Structure 1
């Protein structure tokens, strides 16, 4: 009897209770083993107990050695979703410059290190996808996002450089701009009077991530934007 083929591996960084967990669920439902990376070990353990074929790996993505150790545990992923994010609110007068530097490490440098580690195997296989989740700050800098928007804009440009380099080699890189308030408990508390359709559902974001990772080669997308139908843009 033929041995059943092993499920492909997806790796998701920044697995929190919103988008990250939803992406993990979508890929597990889609037939993948999913390696989950985040700093909160307890949260990852709870998700691993809930979602079949998942692997919990506590990891600080800004630490290249920790990324090496994480990948050594799981092998070469066919799909990588960089969802980890460092953010802060404040004008350039108010923010601690160290916060901007820290956010740059999470949003930009972690993506660079991740790409350098995972894409050589994808390139050798002639297939693979690296999907980066972004937001409106990747496209514009508002006054109170001085420690955040510059890092997301840099992240988008880095992802574009990766896409132009890796696309002709068979590796799909895409950047997903989430122009919306994500439906998680803390945003519900911040906007207590908002109707349900004010928010974007994490499961719907995850569906778009999964779609991007499986686009046919004749119609690859680099930059995609998603927003609720009522969102002003």
Structure 2
């Protein structure tokens, strides 16, 4: 049988690769997109039914080339998980405005570009899923988050606009607010004294993304918040 095709952006050593693993294990052919060619090649060797496509998602020409290759190699994508993220932290007085603009391209504009290219086939099929991984910055602007939060808030609102338009056409759009520090090596090093309950596991995030992809259409979610049991909110 031909495997349904899923496109996952921002495939790195944390959430992205965990999502790719979960989708591949559940029967999908996964197109893994990220800028780091060497790391993608390593994931391709590790994850059966997943293929590497080096790509800068802010470059529309690259997106067109890569998505054409995905369709040729794997088939028409039925699922998009936009996990690529650009972030910068600092006071609004200190950050370089160009950094905010660059992060907007990764977080918000890339979602628009990807959806414009992949949603029409989902609409025609009457099914499909577009899942966006976000975080608490999509809901609130904290001090020193001026280079990041505005782009995630815009990303969530774009996803909601898409959900309201695509839902009646059979395409599920959901936004996952990850309210936690993700359990990756650099975070463990930075928060060396923190207990396990402080971190959210990439595999657990991936499990929720897979759940959203598979949700019964009589009970679709849009805003989904996930956090470890020890998180104060």
TM-score bin, normalised by smaller chain:
over 0.9
Deviations 1:18-74 (A, max 9, x none): 000000000011011100000000000000001111110000000111111111111
Q: Is the 8 A contact 2:197 2:231 kept in 1?
A: no
Partner of 1:223: 223
State how far apart, in whole Å, the 2-side matches of 1:84 and 1:71 are: 16
- Distance of 2:110 and 2:151 partners within structure 1: 12
CA–CA distance in 2 between the matches of 1:25 and 1:207? 10
Q: CA deviation digits over 1:124-153, x for unaligned, max 9?
A: 000000000000000000011001000000
2:168 is the counterpart of 1:172 = no
Matched with 2:6 is 10
2:89–2:145 contact (8 Å) kept in structure 1? yes
Match of 2:82 in 1: 82
Runs of 5+ unmatched residues, structure 2: none
Alignment root-mean-square deviation, CA: 0.5
Q: Deviation of residue 177 (structure 1)?
A: 0.2
Q: How far does the alpha carbon of each residue in 1:164-218 deviate from its partner, in whole angstroms, 9 at most, with x for none?
A: 0100001000000000000001111110001112100000000000000110010
Taking the TM superposition and a 5 Å limit, the aligned residue runs for 1:153-164 are 153-164=153-164
In the other structure, the counterpart of 2:209 is: 209
TM-score, length-normalised on structure 2?
0.97
**Distance in 2, Cα, partners of 1:132 & 1:67:** 17
The counterpart of 2:25, out of the listed 29, 33, 57, is 29
* Cα distance in 2 between the residues matched to 1:124 and 1:28: 24
Unaligned runs of 5+ in 1: none
Question: 1: CA distance between counterparts of 2:232 and 2:194?
Answer: 15
Tell me the residue number matched to 2:50: 54
Partner of 2:65: 69
SS in 2 for 1:94: coil
Aligned residue in 1 for 2:183: 183
Cα distance between partner residues in 1 of 2:34 and 2:187: 21
Q: For 1:78, what is the secondary structure of its paired residue?
A: strand
How many Å separate the matches in 1 of 2:232 and 2:96? Answer: 31
Runs of 4+ in 1 over 3 A off after TM superposition: none
Distance 1:186 1:98 in 2: 26
